[in-house]
Amino acid sequence: MRVSLLLALLLAPLLAGCPPIQPCTDCLEVAGEYLIRAQPIDGLSGGGPDNPCGAVAFPGVNDRLLITQAGSQLTASGWMELDGTLYEDDSLILGPEHYLQTAQGEVLLSLTGLFVPARDGWVVQGQVVFDIPMQACTTSTPLELVQQP
């Protein structure tokens, strides 16, 4: 179940007729300290059979995240501990990892995005993705990672 989101993200290009994205072999050097910012999700509906994603509450984040790198393998620590992969197209997937337990089931969190050059390093524009595998529910909020000099 933990890999359902990862598999969906990796299989989407294949199902669309594109070759699957592979982990990078000539990887960008992206290790460093990042400021992570993401918008909150209120979760006010509380979820339920008709709206399981309504159970996801996220206070947002404005914190630091340290990314270490060994080739295509990435590890994030600080705000949250996540392992992941850097891909040939300069995208990343960190997670999924356990975020919280709700009446609708376990909520998994992943960070996805694309590295783009910035003045002082890298910026990632992406999503914080929440997945409740037992309910086939996925929701997200915008994410920005800014490498610190």
Condensed to tens digits (0 to 9), the pLDDT of residues 87-113 reads: 999 999 999 999 988 877 899 999 999
Which amino acid would we find at residue 138?
Answer: T
Average pLDDT over residues 34-49: 77
Question: What pLDDT is stored for residue 48 in this prediction?
Answer: 57
Report yes or no: 80 and 58 within 8 Å, Cβ to Cβ.
no
Q: Minimum mean pLDDT among 2-11, 27-36, 49-58, 66-75: which range?
A: 2-11
With 80 as the cut, is the pLDDT of residue 3 above it? no
The dihedral of CA 4, 133, 109, 101: what is its sign? negative
Q: Which residues pair with 97 in a beta bridge?
A: 109
Question: What pLDDT is stored for residue 49 in this prediction?
Answer: 60
Q: Which residues pair with 2 in a beta bridge?
A: none
